């Protein structure tokens, strides 16, 4: 990798400003439901503290849209991090301003301070409207580290503009380094055959990756809610199933393009449907009945896809194949996850919902790589890099 890493920078006594991804799922009472994203940053955090750095952590959580929202405060993350580290983690109720600067200046080597949610300020997501926000953040550190792979595909203030204030002192953390290594291998030189499975509900934010993957893979498998847009594009009845009407033209064009180029595009052959009272499995060639809604891929699809996927040397999977959080519609995702945990090929998965599903099955250690980023993993595979990576210092 041609970017500076933690190992390349002098951290002793320095104020180390590190962007992390503590965008953790929360319970209704505000407690943390899954601390995986915090746990993944521990190697970088512990290394900085051992080097006697004065660590200042910044992150976003949820979508507060530029104003304070106590429901997405990062304070629970500070408490959880303290438990994991076995030491006190300071917390500041803002991320810029005089009080924050004072708290940072008073940090001792080996201490850590987490600042409040970056997205409480409009300048985080819209740096062009408030360029001073990135500069105010930058004033808090002597060194900048980005260890937030899950947010590195966004050009937000704490990801891209901030790096210009550290021309020779910004680099990647250990989590980011691990993610880049895993996806660079898939992007540059995947073992063949290379298969990709893409699921999830919406097709809109995955158009670019579908087009990019279609040029690189030996087989593309599309499931989840987004499959129904393709079914409708093929003229099949989809009942009350989710469909992105604005993307139907793309779906039609994409299907024709794959056929013209001989790209092996796999759609489900059967789906699990419900009318709110009953659940049944139908063959998609006959369409989804009126007033019924598709919720999962069916067992015949899992069986058919598994035979094909077993031939793969490199497999990438993003997005669940059904509404897995509802027990009745989790089978497709779970059966595929179990199958992929046993295949001989290298398996990489990305996306928060899918990662949660795999972790609930205790399968993550059986896979080659479980990514901390959904959108970031997709964009990396499409472009071979991310805005947040490009912004950092070269070696």
The tens place of each residue's pLDDT in the chain, 395 residues long, gives 699 999 999 999 999 999 999 999 888 898 998 898 999 999 999 999 999 999 999 999 999 999 999 999 999 999 999 999 999 999 999 999 999 999 999 999 999 999 999 999 999 999 999 999 999 999 999 999 999 999 999 999 999 999 999 999 999 999 999 999 999 999 999 999 999 999 988 887 788 888 888 988 999 999 999 999 999 999 999 999 999 999 999 999 999 999 998 989 999 999 999 999 999 999 999 999 999 999 999 999 999 999 999 999 999 999 999 998 899 999 999 999 999 999 999 999 987 778 888 888 899 899 999 998 888 998 898 889 999 999 999 99
Q: Is position 154 annotated in a ligand binding site?
A: yes
Q: What pTM value is reported for the model?
A: 0.89
pLDDT digits (tens, 9 = 90+) for 323-356: 988 999 999 999 999 999 999 999 999 877 788 8
User: 384: buried, middle or exposed (CB in 10 Å: 19+, 13-18, 0-12)?
Assistant: middle
pLDDT of 128 reads: 96
Using DSSP bridges, classify how beta strands 270-274 and 279-283 pair: parallel, antiparallel or unpaired. Answer: antiparallel
Q: Is position 60 annotated in a ligand binding site?
A: yes
Q: Is position 354 annotated in a ligand binding site?
A: yes
The residue ranges of every structural domain in the chain are 6-175, 190-382
Q: Is position 206 annotated in a ligand binding site?
A: yes
The two domains 6-175 and 190-382 share their CATH topology (first three levels equal) = yes
Q: Which tokens go with 139?
A: 């004033």
pLDDT of 372 reads: 87
Rounded to the nearest 10 degrees, the angle between the axes of helix 331-340 and helix 352-360 is 70
- Omega into 77 within 30° of 0, i.e. cis? no
pLDDT of 120 reads: 98
Q: Which residues are catalytic?
A: 37, 202, 352, 375
DSSP E strand boundaries for 237-381: 265-266, 270-274, 279-283, 293-297, 314-318, 346-350, 369-370
Task: Extract long-range pairs of 209-214: CB within 8 Å, 24+ residues apart.
Answer: 209/318, 209/378, 209/379, 209/381, 209/382, 210/254, 211/254, 212/381, 212/382, 212/383, 213/381, 213/382, 214/254, 214/257, 214/258, 214/261, 214/263, 214/265
Architecture per CATH, 190-382: 3-Layer(aba) Sandwich (3.40)
| Enclosing H/E stretch for 172 | strand 170-172
Distance CA 78, CA 90 (A): 7
Residue 239 contacts residue 232 (beta carbons within 8 Å): no
pLDDT of 287 reads: 97
Architecture per CATH, 6-175: 3-Layer(aba) Sandwich (3.40)
Q: Is position 361 annotated in a ligand binding site?
A: no
């Amino acid at each position: 990798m041609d970017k500076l890493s933690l190992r390349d920078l002098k951290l002793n006594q320095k104020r180390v400003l590190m962007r992390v991804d503590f965008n953790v799922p929360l319970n209704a009472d505000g407690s943390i439901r899954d601390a995986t994203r915090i746990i993944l940053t521990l190697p970088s955090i512990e290394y900085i503290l051992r080097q006697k750095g004065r660590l200042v952590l910044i992150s976003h959580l949820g979508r507060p849209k530029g104003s304070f929202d106590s429901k997405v405060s990062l304070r629970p993350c500070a408490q959880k991090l303290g438990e994991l580290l076995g030491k006190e983690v300071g917390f500041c109720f803002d991320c810029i301003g005089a009080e924050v600067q004072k708290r940072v200046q008073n940090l001792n080597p080996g201490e850590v301070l987490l600042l409040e949610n970056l997205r409480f300020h409009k300048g985080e997501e819209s740096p062009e409207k408030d360029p001073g926000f990135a500069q105010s953040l930058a004033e808090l550190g002597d060194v900048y580290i980005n260890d937030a792979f899950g947010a590195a595909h966004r050009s937000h203030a704490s990801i891209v503009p901030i790096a210009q204030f550290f021309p020779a002192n910004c680099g990647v953390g250990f989590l980011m380094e691990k993610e880049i290594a895993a996806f660079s291998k898939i992007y540059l030189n995947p073992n063949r055959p290379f298969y990709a499975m893409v699921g999830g509900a919406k097709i809109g934010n995955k158009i670019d990756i579908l087009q990019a993957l279609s040029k690189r893979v030996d087989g593309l498998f599309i499931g989840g809610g987004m499959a129904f847009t393709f079914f409708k594009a093929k003229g099949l009845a989809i009942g009350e199933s989710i469909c992105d009407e604005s993307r139907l033209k793309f779906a039609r064009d994409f299907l024709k393009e794959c056929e013209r180029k001989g790209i092996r595009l796999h759609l489900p052959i059967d789906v699990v449907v419900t009318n709110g009272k009953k659940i049944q499995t139908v063959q998609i060639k006959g369409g989804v009945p009126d007033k019924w809604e598709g919720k999962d891929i069916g067992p015949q699809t899992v069986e058919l896809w598994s035979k094909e996927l077993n031939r793969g040397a490199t497999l990438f999977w993003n997005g669940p194949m059904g509404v897995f959080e509802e027990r009745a519609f989790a089978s497709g995702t779970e059966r595929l996850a179990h199958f992929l945990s046993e295949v001989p090929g290298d398996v990489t998965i990305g996306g928060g919902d899918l990662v949660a599903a795999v972790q609930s099955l205790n399968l993550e250690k059986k896979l080659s790589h479980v990514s901390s980023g959904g959108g970031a993993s997709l964009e990396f595979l499409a472009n071979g890099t991310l805005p947040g990576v490009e912004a950092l210092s070269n070696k």
